[in-house]
Amino acid sequence: TWSAVPAGPPDPILGITEAFKADKDPRKINLGVGAYRDENGKPYVLNAVKKAEEKIAAAKLDKEYLGITGLASFTQNAAKLAYGVDSEPLKQNAIAVAQSISGTGALRIGGAFIARHYPHAKVIYLPTPTWGNHMPLFKDSGLEVRRYRYFDSKTVGLDFAGMKEDLKNAPEGAVILLHACAHNPTGIDPTQEQWKELSDLVAEKKLFPFFDMAYQGFASGSTTRDAFAVRHFVAQGHDIALCQSFAKNMGLYGERVGAFSLTTRSEEEKKRVESQIKIIIRPMYSNPPLHGAHIANNILSDPELYQEWEGEVKGMADRIINMRERLYNLLTHELKTPGEWGHIKSQIGMFSFTGLKTEQCKALAEKAHIYMTMDGRISMAGLNGSNIEYFAQSVDAAVRG
């Protein structure tokens, strides 16, 4: 039956993990995977999560189905976290929220909703570059995907002029995907002033802002600061779509906890929108999983756990910021590696776009047992006190050729 099905290409990130696993050298480092690692290079389960799980176990909850849009207390608390308690549409009960299969599932519900109900051309603009799953995800949702400039390889910074020009030239009503904070893969975000300009431009051109927020709290260590763009756009009166993930900021990767939301103009409009979100979800997976939503909800609703969680998010963000500092100092001051490395310090979040060329990345894998994507992106979380010097020396050798 399937004799004509061609083999598809392997996933580039999972391919790196395979190569890493097969490598027997004790110095090997995996900088491909986008999951947090602690100072010992180990996966990290947050204390707030462990305590929430103890509370859940003690409560002896049943395993009944959730509703189509998930655990209501969780979705309300997730919306509060993103939009802020003072958000007008939140106060007016005008935000439609559905629990989702983490950030990816939220994006997919959003893609399907735009494809079915958006009253303008079903065109979405993605930054170049962007997270590798955005393009196939929105195409599979039935949208036409176009790109806008984002990264300037000369400055290893934001191509703000190019970005604005491309958004200006987008057709009226086009959907614009924006990484709310900690842009993946570049680690480069607009400044607050630039976000304000973007909000004005989006209003002027009547574009529709579609936010992907996979790293709230993880970028700066503050969930409020990282929500700046989302809250500013909403405060300026935009209707937005928002995809939230609790994979990174609560370390709930495999639990698949997230939320999709749309702001609307009234409670009545919200109800109509919500009914259509349900109609999209029901034939896809019926209803979302229970356990992760309970974990996140316990953390978001218990002041003590919330405080502990905030400290832990900040701890993760600070460790990464510290690694950026050390890597910058090693390359610039100690090894005097040719090139400009300031971007390592100024970039934000889990990833750094090092500016290393494909050949240099290959050399690092073959000669130094260091694995990363061939675009030069490294996961900063894979670095720690025990491997950062070896990593810097290896980068230095690769750059000198």
> What is the C-alpha to C-alpha distance for residues 96 and 329, in angstroms, rounded to an integer?
46
How many residues touch ligand PMP (CB under 6 A)? 13
Q: What are phi and psi of 226, to 5 degrees?
A: -70, -15
Say how many C-beta atoms besides its own lie within 10 A of residue 172's C-beta. 9
> Least separation, in Å, of the C-beta of 14 and ligand PMP?
13
Cα–Cα nearest to 17, from 354, 375, 371, 350: 371
**Which of residues 258 and 382 has its CB atom nearest to ligand PMP in the complex?**
258
Q: Determine, following the binding rule CB under 6 A, whether residue 184 of this chain makes contact with ligand PMP.
A: yes
> Least separation, in Å, of the C-beta of 179 and ligand PMP?
6
Element at 30 (helix H, strand E): strand 29-30
**Which of residues 13 and 56 has its CB atom nearest to ligand PMP in the complex?**
13
Q: Determine, following the binding rule CB under 6 A, whether residue 249 of this chain makes contact with ligand PMP.
A: no
Q: Determine, following the binding rule CB under 6 A, whether residue 179 of this chain makes contact with ligand PMP.
A: yes
Q: Determine, following the binding rule CB under 6 A, whether residue 349 of this chain makes contact with ligand PMP.
A: no
By CB under 6 A, name the one of 34, 190, 209, 288 that touches ligand PMP.
Answer: 34
Instruction: Classify each residue of 134-167 as buried b or exposed e, where b means 16 or more C-beta atoms within 10 Å of its C-beta.
Output: beebbeebebebeebbbbbeeebbbbbeebbebb
Q: Determine, following the binding rule CB under 6 A, whether residue 79 of this chain makes contact with ligand PMP.
A: no
Q: Determine, following the binding rule CB under 6 A, whether residue 186 of this chain makes contact with ligand PMP.
A: no
Q: Determine, following the binding rule CB under 6 A, whether residue 245 of this chain makes contact with ligand PMP.
A: yes
> What is the C-alpha to C-alpha distance for residues 308 and 330, in angstroms, rounded to an integer?
33
Say how many C-beta atoms besides its own lie within 10 A of residue 195's C-beta. 18
Cα–Cα nearest to 341, from 331, 356, 333: 331
Q: Determine, following the binding rule CB under 6 A, whether residue 37 of this chain makes contact with ligand PMP.
A: no
Stretch that binds ligand PMP, among 71-79, 101-109, 165-173, 392-400 (CB under 6 A): 101-109
By CB under 6 A, name the one of 159, 166, 212, 226 that touches ligand PMP.
Answer: 212
x/- string (CB under 6 A) for ligand PMP, residues 300-329? ------------------------------
> Least separation, in Å, of the C-beta of 345 and ligand PMP?
21
> What is the C-alpha to C-alpha distance for residues 328 and 304, in angstroms, rounded to an integer?
36
Please list every residue from 103 through 132 that binds ligand PMP, using CB under 6 A.
Answer: 103-104, 131
For 372, the token pair is: 């990363």
Check: CB of residue 175 under 8 Å from CB of residue 118: yes
Q: Which of 51, 122, 159, 248 is catalytic?
A: 248
**Which of residues 108 and 326 has its CB atom nearest to ligand PMP in the complex?**
108
Burial (0-12, 13-18, 19+ Cβ within 10 Å), 83: buried
Mark whether 159 is an active-site residue: no
Beta strands in 154-199 (DSSP E): 157-158, 175-179
Point out which residues bind ligand PMP (CB under 6 A): 34, 102-104, 131, 179, 184, 212, 214, 245, 247, 253, 258
Enzyme catalytic residues: 131, 212, 248
